[in-house]
Structure 1
Amino acid sequence: MEIKGFKGRQLEKSVPASPEDGFIRSEVAYIDNGFEKEFHMVYLEYFDQKFSEVTPYENNPIISFHNYRYEFKDVAALAVLLTYPQYKHQKRLYVPDWDQFVSLLNQVQWNTVETIIQEESQEYLNQ
């Protein structure tokens, strides 16, 4: 699997003043067996605010490399896909439950995620 890019963003509420929960979409684009694919993980914004409880990072940005700054939402889908390669067979993962969110992130090898991010950042610097 070759990582092509990753990012995260806040999804807009259907009605700005509504009490509904806000959501985050974290995305990773990659090439697998010659095919370009994407994996999207959608989760509650509230979970994004509590990432320090399930990662070794305290604040955003969680990873900085040269001029690049990566927030948790930018790398969440990458971390899950690297940890659970079976998700390559689906395009989206919706995580509505805190316990599920915690169980997904408990197994992540964050040093591996950091290595991939540094490699990607270095590629951008070399272009």
Structure 2
Amino acid sequence: MFIKECAGYELEKEKSNTSEDFFNRSVVTFIDGSEEKTLHVLYVRYFDEFIQEFTPYQQDPILTKDNIQVTFKDIVALVCLIKNPGLRNRKRLYINSKPEFTSYFQDIDFDKLTDVVLSVKQNNKFELRSPLDYIIQTR
């Protein structure tokens, strides 16, 4: 599987009576076989306040290198795809529970994950051979 894009952004209100401004969207675009697919993960923005509880990151952006900034929103969809490869066959995922959101980040190898995201942002691609390579295996 080739990862082509990892991005995230805050939603903004389109109408005054909607609640979009309470949510973030994280997107990962990838090539699965010969087909290009995109997974959109919509999650409650409030979870961003707790990133230090389930990641090693203390602030956002989580990484800056060579004028490239990686935000927490940029990695959420990628983490979900790595943790649950079955999501390759879905277009959207909605997460509104903190325990569910936190479970996606358990046992993720964040050092390797940042390498993936930096490569995607610099080269517009990264070959992800096995999602298991990015999950810390407990013995």
- Partners of 1:88 and 1:54 in 2: CA distance: 23
Between the two proteins, the alignment pairs up a number of residues equal to: 124
TM-score by length of 1: 0.87
- Partners of 1:92 and 1:58 in 2: CA distance: 28
2:130 counterpart residue number? none
User: Gaps (5+ residues) in structure 2?
Assistant: 125-139
Q: Which shifted more, 32-41 or 84-93?
A: 84-93
The alignment status of 1:56 with 2:66, answered yes or no, reads no
User: Gaps (5+ residues) in structure 1?
Assistant: none
Greater RCO (Cα-Cα under 8 Å, separation 6 or more): 2
1:70 counterpart residue number? 70
3-state SS of 1:112 partner: helix
Q: 1:75: how far off?
A: 1.2
Q: 1:16: how far off?
A: 4.7
Q: 1:15: how far off?
A: 4.3
3-state SS of 1:13 partner: coil
Which 4+ runs in 1 deviate beyond 6 A?
17-21
Q: CA RMSD in A?
A: 2.0
1:43 counterpart residue number? 43
* Matched-pair contact (CA < 8 Å) for 2:12–2:21: no
Q: Which shifted more, 76-85 or 37-46?
A: 76-85
* Matched-pair contact (CA < 8 Å) for 2:11–2:21: no
Q: What whole-Å deviation, never above 9, does each CA across 1:7-33 have from its counterpart, x for those lacking one?
A: 101112354587786000000111010
* Matched-pair contact (CA < 8 Å) for 1:7–1:28: yes
Which one-letter code corresponds to 1:60 in the other structure? Answer: D
Q: 1:67: how far off?
A: 1.0
* Matched-pair contact (CA < 8 Å) for 2:25–2:43: yes
Identity %, equivalent residues: 35
3-state SS of 1:50 partner: helix
